[in-house]
Amino acid sequence: MIQGESAQFTATLLDADAIPISGKRISWYSEDSSAATVTQAGLVTAIQPGRCRIRAYIPLVAGTAEVIISDAAISHHLLMSGPLRGLAISGNKGYIPVWNSDSILVLDIAAERRTGVIHTGSPVASIAFNPAGTRAYFTTDDGKLGAIDAASDSTIGTVSIAPGIDAPLTSADGGTVWVISGFYGRLYAVNAVTLAVVDSTRIPESSHRLVLNPTLNRLYLTGDIDAVVRELDAGTLVSLRSWNLGGRPNGMALSLDGTRLFVANGQNWVDEIQLSSGVVSSSVPLPSGAGDIVLSPDGVWLAVISTPPQIFFLYSSTRSMDKTVRIGGQPSGLGYRADGTRLLVANFDGWVDFIR
């Protein structure tokens, strides 16, 4: 439920054979009335973000339901099918893989609704659009890289690359797709049309995030075990620079002009690397560990996924905190709508939040 929302709950009393019993008065109780209240008619009202158990009971018999209450900043809470495993956005279209499934859900972002499903033949690990939004590339749990035609929402083809490939990323001209294999500890460059591997290089096995800086034609790689961010030439895959940030570097986001790299750290801070000089600015602490990070289309805001499940909004100019939105569940991916008025957060527990 969303903060301020009310919903009618019902309870049914059953006998030992699961046959409904009528004529008994059921009482209602909230285990945390500061989070949610309930009337004796079963009407639940969400008061503030958090978790609360609602209990329906008669003497000696009780039933409970857990309510997860999201922040009022969430304009829409869209229930989907299955645990969601990430999010890719281009224009008003979103693609969301379903964990342990060959299904990619299609989302109309403007209408805030699901419009279809794409079947890939293998469970999907991750997905990303090319810059033009004409294609999306996905990796599968069995080591394949596939392409989707975004106009028809149909799979073009798949090719086996390597076990454990993840984090597909497309070059600015759309001609190359890069993928990481943590299993082999390699970064692969793949022809975006034929899906044939054209180059590869050795990387740490802990590497799991990849960002392109089209201004400098550089790739940036994080690995949360060795605490290092690496810079590679996007054309040759030659290693250029590295920064040991400590902790567990996770998601990365680039400033609009490509001069600053923001790095979310699982050890409760955000770093900023000045790419012209290579200087790392002082870390800005966070209340809890950071996972993925994304920059708003106007470059003003940094949105950071954190655990416990919440989103931190920071000013990109100072990395100072503006607000926190509690969302519940297990957030698995985020991205901004093209106009920047909504941040979408895919949740492993089976929903998408639209945050104002």
* Percentage of residues in the chain having pLDDT higher than 90: 85
In angstroms and rounded to an integer, the radius of gyration of the C-alpha atoms of the chain is: 23
pLDDT tens readout for residues 121-131: 999 999 999 99
Give residue-wise pLDDT tens across range 93-147: 999 999 999 999 999 999 999 999 999 999 999 999 999 999 999 999 999 999 9
* The most confident of 52-56, 222-226, 337-341, by mean pLDDT: 52-56
| Any domain includes 104 | no
The model's pLDDT over 18-31, given as tens digits with 9 standing for 90+, comes to 999 988 999 999 99
What is the domain-level CATH number for residue 192?
Answer: 2.40.10.480
pLDDT at site 72: 81
Determine whether 9 is exposed, middle or buried from the number of CB atoms within 10 Å of its CB (0-12, 13-18, 19+): middle
Per-residue confidence band for 178, with pLDDT thresholds at 50, 70 and 90: very high
Residue 50 confidence class, pLDDT cut points 50, 70, 90: confident
Q: Does residue 40 fall inside a structural domain?
A: yes
pLDDT value at residue 224: 66
Half-sphere exposure of 214 (CA within 13 A, CB side): 11
In a domain, residue 37? The reply is yes
Those residues whose C-beta lies under 8 Å from the C-beta of residue 84, and which sit 6 or more positions away, are: 96, 97, 98, 99, 105, 332, 333, 346, 347, 348, 350, 351, 352
**Residue 24 covered by a domain:** yes
- The SS3 assignment for 34 reads coil
User: Does the residue 169 lie in any domain?
Assistant: yes
pLDDT, tens digit (0-9, with 9 covering 90-100), for 235-292: 999 999 999 999 999 999 999 999 999 999 999 999 999 999 999 999 999 999 999 9
pLDDT at 279: 97
Residue 349 to residue 79: CA distance in whole angstroms: 9
The Cα–Cα gap between 149 and 98 comes to 19
Q: How many domains does the chain have?
A: 2
- Domain end call among 202, 226, 243: 202
Domain with 173, as residue range(s), is 120-202
- List the beta strands (DSSP E) in 34-134: 36-38, 43-46, 50-58, 61-69, 74-79, 88-90, 93-97, 103-108, 113-119, 124-129
- With respect to residue 334, please indicate whether it lies within any of the assigned structural domains: no
pLDDT of residue 68: 83
pTM of the model as a whole: 0.85
Asked, for residue 65, whether it belongs to a domain, the answer is: yes
**Kindly report the CA angle at 349 between 86 and 336, in degrees rounded to 5?**
40
The pLDDT score that the predictor gives to residue 309 is: 87
Q: Considering 148, 175, 202, which residue would you say is the last residue of a domain?
A: 202
Q: Which residues contact 297 (CB under 8 A, 6 or more apart)?
A: 336, 338, 339, 340
The last residue of a domain, from among 155, 186, 202: 202
Q: Tell me if 171 is assigned to some domain.
A: yes
In one letter, which amino acid is 128?
Answer: A
